[in-house]
Amino acid sequence: MKQSLYATHLNRNARLLKIKKAEAVMLPRLFCICDLGY
């Protein structure tokens, strides 16, 4: 039981890291688009 909880915890962390990475990639692109718009 403890092991499965730990596994789900790791999976959740991995998902959060993926989302953070995606945001880190997308944010500069959004700023570039905004810069081009002006």
pLDDT band per the 50, 70, 90 thresholds, residue 34: low
The amino acid occupying position 27 is L
Q: What is the value of pTM for the model shown?
A: 0.51
Q: Which two tokens stand for residue 32?
A: 């570039």
The amino acid occupying position 21 is K
Q: What pLDDT, in 10s, does the model give residues 2-32?
A: 778 888 888 998 998 998 888 888 877 777 7
Number of structural domains (the chain) is: 1
Q: Which two tokens stand for residue 20?
A: 């953070």
Domain span holding position 28: 1-38
35 has pLDDT over 70: no
DSSP of 1-38: -HHHHHHHHHHHHHHHHHHHHHHHHHHHHHHHHHHHH-
